[in-house]
Amino acid sequence: MTASATDETRAGKPSRKVRVLIAKPGLDGHDRGAKVVARALRDAGMEVVYTGLRQSAEQIVAAAAQEDVDVVGLSILSGAHLPICRKVMELLREKGMEGVRVFVGGIIPTQDIPELKSMGVAEVFLPGSSTRDVIRLVESSVVPLDPH
Amino acid sequence: MKKVLDEKPAAEGRRKESAGPFTTISGRPIDPLYGPEDVRSLDYDRDLADPGQFPYTRGVHETMYRGKVWTMRQFAGFGSAAQTNARFKYLLEHGGHGLSVAFDLPTLMGRDPDHPLSLGEVGKCGVAVTSLRDMETLFEGIPLDDVTTSMTINSPAAMLLAFYILVGEKQGVPETELAGTIQADILKEFIAQKEYIFPPRPSMRVIVDMIRYCTEHMPRWNTISISGYHIREAGSTAAQELAFTLRDGIEYVQWCVDAGMDVDTFAPRLSFFFNAHSDFFEEIAKYRAARRIWARTMKERFGARNPRSWMLRFHTQTAGVSLTAQQPLNNIVRTALEALAGVLGGTQSLHTNSFDEALALPTEEAVTIALRTQQIIAHETGVVNTADPLAGSYFVERLTSEIEAEALEYFRKIDAMGGMVAAIERGFPQREIQEAAFQFQRAVERKGKVIVGVNDYVMEEKPVPILYIEESVAEEQAARVAALKATRDAARVRRALESLKDAARGDDNVMVPILEASRAYATLGEMCDALREVWGEYEEPPVF
CB neighbours of residue B337 within 10 Å: 16
Q: Could you tell me the residue range of the domain that residue B382 belongs to? A: 36-414+421-445
Among B111, B114, B121, most A C-beta atoms within 10 A, so best to mutate, is: B121
Domain match, B380 and B495 both: no
In 3D, which of B275, B377, B279, B364 has the Cα closest to residue B320?
B275
Any idea what DSSP says for residue B345?
A: T
B361 contacts A27? CB cut-off 8 A: no
Q: Give the residue on B whose Cα is nearest the Cα of A24.
A: B542
CB nearest to A27's CB, from B117, B466, B541: B117
CB nearest to B105's CB, from A28, A81, A87: A28
Q: Strand, helix or coil at B195? A: coil
Q: Strand, helix or coil at B238? A: helix
Among B114, B118, B119, most A C-beta atoms within 10 A, so best to mutate, is: B119
Domain match, B509 and B431 both: no
- Name the burial class of residue B522, with classes exposed (0-12), middle (13-18) and buried (19+) by CB atoms within 10 angstroms of its CB: buried
For residue B4, the model assigns a pLDDT of 40
* CB hemisphere CA count around B329 (13 angstroms): 5
pLDDT digit string, tens, across residues A73-114: 999 998 899 999 999 999 999 999 999 999 999 999 888 999
For residue A1, the model assigns a pLDDT of 32
In this structure, is the dihedral angle defined by the CA atoms of residues B36, B60, B293 and B319, taken in order, positive or negative?
Answer: positive
CATH architecture of A16-141: 3-Layer(aba) Sandwich (3.40)
B471 contacts A132? CB cut-off 8 A: no
For residue B465, the model assigns a pLDDT of 85
* Alpha carbon of A38: minimum distance to chain B alpha carbons (Å): 7
CB nearest to A111's CB, from B120, B233, B463: B463
Domain match, B503 and B372 both: no
CB nearest to B360's CB, from A28, A57, A79: A79
B234 contacts A27? CB cut-off 8 A: no
* Alpha carbon of B357: minimum distance to chain A alpha carbons (Å): 8
CB B311 within 8 A of CB B272: no
Asked if the model's pLDDT at residue A14 lies above 90, the reply is no
Give CA separation, A143 vs A61, A89, A117, A147, B134, in Å: 21, 21, 21, 9, 52
CB nearest to A128's CB, from B105, B233, B325: B325
CB nearest to B451's CB, from A39, A83, A128: A128
Domain match, B409 and B516 both: no
CB B279 within 8 A of CB B238: yes
Asked if the model's pLDDT at residue A121 lies above 80, the reply is yes
Q: Give the residue on B whose Cα is nearest the Cα of A109.
A: B359
Quote the CA–CA distance of A92 and B81 in Å, as a whole number. 36
Contacts of B463 in chain A (CB under 8 A): 109-111
In 3D, which of B71, B78, B77, B127 has the Cα closest to residue B95?
B71
**Crossing angle of helices B428-445/B394-417, nearest 10°?**
140
Domain match, B234 and B365 both: yes
- Name the burial class of residue A6, with classes exposed (0-12), middle (13-18) and buried (19+) by CB atoms within 10 angstroms of its CB: middle
* Alpha carbon of A71: minimum distance to chain B alpha carbons (Å): 18
Asked if the model's pLDDT at residue A12 lies above 50, the reply is no
Longest dimension (CA), chain B: 87
For residue B359, the model assigns a pLDDT of 87
For residue B1, the model assigns a pLDDT of 35
CB nearest to A53's CB, from B106, B359, B540: B540
CATH number of the domain that B392 lies in? 3.20.20.240
Give CA separation, A89 vs A49, A93, A137, B89, B201, in Å: 19, 6, 18, 41, 39
Any bridge partners for residue A125, and if so which? A105
> Is residue B287 in some structural domain?
yes
For residue B542, the model assigns a pLDDT of 80
pTM score, whole prediction: 0.91
DSSP B74-130: EEE--BSHHHHHHHHHHHHHTT--EEEEEBPHHHHTT--TTSGGGTTTTTTSSB---
CB neighbours of residue B70 within 10 Å: 22
Contacts of A26 in chain B (CB under 8 A): 105, 117, 119-121
Quote the CA–CA distance of B527 and B535 in Å, as a whole number. 12
How many domains does chain B fold into? 2
In 3D, which of B444, B432, B425, B102 has the Cα closest to residue B234?
B432
pLDDT digit string, tens, across residues B379-411: 999 999 999 999 999 999 999 999 999 999 999
Domain match, B509 and B378 both: no
Quote the CA–CA distance of A19 and A36 in Å, as a whole number. 17
Q: Give the residue on B whose Cα is nearest the Cα of A80.
A: B120
DSSP B135-180: HHHHTTT--TTT--EEEE--TTHHHHHHHHHHHHHHHT--GGG--E
Contacts of A105 in chain B (CB under 8 A): none
> Is residue B317 in some structural domain?
yes
pLDDT digit string, tens, across residues B227-238: 999 999 999 999
In 3D, which of B361, B510, B466, B484 has the Cα closest to residue B113?
B484
Contacts of A108 in chain B (CB under 8 A): 359
Quote the CA–CA distance of B187 and B183 in Å, as a whole number. 11
For residue A17, the model assigns a pLDDT of 87
Contacts of B438 in chain A (CB under 8 A): 35-36, 39-40
Task: List b or e across B184-198, with b for residues whose CB sees 16 or more CB atoms inside 10 angstroms.
Answer: bbbbbbbbbbbbbbb
Q: Give the residue on A whose Cα is nearest the Cα of B328.
A: A127
Contacts of B116 in chain A (CB under 8 A): 56
In one-letter notation, the amino acid at residue B259 is A
Check residues A6 and B326 and name the one with the higher pLDDT: B326
Quote the CA–CA distance of B325 and A53 in Å, as a whole number. 24
Domain boundaries, chain A: 16-141
Q: For A58-82, what is the mean pLDDT?
A: 95
In one-letter notation, the amino acid at residue A122 is A
Task: Enumerate the H helices of B297-418 as residue ranges.
Answer: 307-310, 330-344, 364-380, 394-417
* CB hemisphere CA count around B172 (13 angstroms): 2
* Alpha carbon of A13: minimum distance to chain B alpha carbons (Å): 24
A78 contacts B234? CB cut-off 8 A: no
Q: Give the residue on B whose Cα is nearest the Cα of A107.
A: B359
Contacts of A128 in chain B (CB under 8 A): 324-326, 358, 451, 453-455
Contacts of A109 in chain B (CB under 8 A): 359-360, 463, 466, 468
Q: Give the residue on A whose Cα is nearest the Cα of B103.
A: A78
> pLDDT by residue for chain B (544 residues), tens digit each?
334 444 444 444 455 555 677 999 999 999 999 999 999 999 999 999 999 999 999 999 999 999 999 999 888 899 999 999 999 999 899 887 889 999 999 999 999 999 988 989 999 989 999 999 999 999 999 999 999 999 999 999 999 999 999 999 999 999 999 999 999 999 999 999 999 999 999 999 999 999 999 999 999 999 999 999 999 999 999 999 999 999 999 999 999 999 999 999 999 999 999 999 999 999 999 999 999 999 999 999 999 999 999 999 999 999 999 999 999 999 999 999 999 999 999 999 999 999 999 888 899 899 999 999 999 999 999 999 999 999 999 999 999 999 999 999 999 999 999 999 999 999 999 999 999 999 999 988 888 889 999 989 999 988 888 888 888 899 999 999 999 999 999 999 999 999 999 999 999 999 999 999 999 999 999 999 999 999 999 998 887 8
Contacts of A84 in chain B (CB under 8 A): 119-120
Q: Give the residue on B whose Cα is nearest the Cα of A56.
A: B117
Which residues lie below 8 Å from residue A2, measured CB to CB, with a gap of 6+? none
Quote the CA–CA distance of B158 and B156 in Å, as a whole number. 6
**Alpha carbon B455 to chain centroid, angstroms:** 29
For residue A144, the model assigns a pLDDT of 56
> Is residue B81 in some structural domain?
yes
For residue A147, the model assigns a pLDDT of 46
Domain match, B109 and B241 both: yes
Contacts of A112 in chain B (CB under 8 A): none
Contacts of B362 in chain A (CB under 8 A): none
B359 contacts A107? CB cut-off 8 A: yes
Q: How confident is the model at residue A15 (pLDDT cuts 50, 70, 90)?
A: low
Domain match, B425 and B504 both: no
Q: Strand, helix or coil at B267? A: helix
B544 contacts A39? CB cut-off 8 A: yes
Domain match, B65 and B159 both: yes
Chain pair A-B, CB pairs under 8 angstroms: 129
